Amino acid sequence: MAPIAVGDVVPEGTISFFDENDQLQSASVHTLAAGKKVILFGVPGAFTPTCSMQHVPGFIEKAEELKSKGVDEIICFSVNDPFVMKAWGKTYPENKHVKFVADGSGEYTQLLGLELDLKDKGLGVRSRRFALLLDNLKVTVANVESGGEFTVSSADDILKAL
């Protein structure tokens, strides 16, 4: 499948996360993003160096600025289980706006066409690093990295696009 691109409508699919009451939820991506301006940024793995020290902190640090430019939701997405994503999110006590969600089986990643085969590194099939800006489910910015790079999908890159 071709990777998601500008002009596409994000596919319907289900992701999992823990809500503010610490209850495990499964939700439709369309339900979470319909009628909203949403940043969906994906990382190859929770607790991995680039993801943990650069990608996620950038969105946490810039969250207020992103929201001031009309962003309703900022969602961090990874092919991990929801328990791992919950634990990872708790390592950022300063976080007030980034929601950590799981694509445990990688099915939604596949629908997006953004799989990254890391079997040779013992990580299985993960998500490529990316940042999408959605406006009422339509992709208006699609910054997708090659391999393990981190050059186009930062919070600053999304701010420039806004």
Q: Is residue 1 part of a domain?
A: no
> What tokens appear for 155 in the block?
């919070």
Helix (H) or strand (E) holding 98, with range, is strand 98-102
Instruction: Give all strands of the β-sheet with 138-144 in edge-to-edge order.
Output: 24-28, 14-18, 98-102, 73-78, 37-43, 130-135, 138-144
Name the residue type at position 94.
E
In a domain, 130, yes or no: yes
Q: Match 């946490």 to its residue by tokens.
A: 60
The answer to whether position 66 is within a domain reads yes
CA distance 7 to 113: 15
- Is 48 part of any domain? yes
pLDDT at 11 over 80: yes
Whole-model pTM: value is: 0.93
The per-residue pLDDT for 48 is 83
pLDDT mean across residues, the chain: 93
Which 3 state secondary structure label does DSSP give 73? strand
Catalytic pick from 32, 33, 51, 137? 51
pLDDT tens digits along 26-43: 999 999 999 999 999 999
Whichever domain contains 84, its CATH number is: 3.40.30.10
Confidence label for 1 from pLDDT (cuts 50, 70 and 90): low
Number of domains, the chain = 1
CA-based max dimension of the chain: 42
Per-residue model confidence (pLDDT) at position 45: 85
Buried b (16+ CB within 10 A) or exposed e, 66-100: bbeeebebbbbbbbbebebbbebbeebeebeebbb
Is 51 catalytic? The answer is: yes
What domain range includes position 52?
Answer: 6-159
Separation of alpha carbons 130 and 74, rounded Å: 13
Please say if the pLDDT value at position 157 is more than 90.
yes
What would the mean pLDDT of 53-75 be, rounded to a whole number?
96
**Residue 81 domain flag:** yes
Has residue 63 been placed in a domain? yes
In a domain? residue 103: yes
Q: What is the pLDDT of residues 112-142, one digit of tens each?
A: 999 877 778 877 677 889 999 999 999 999 9
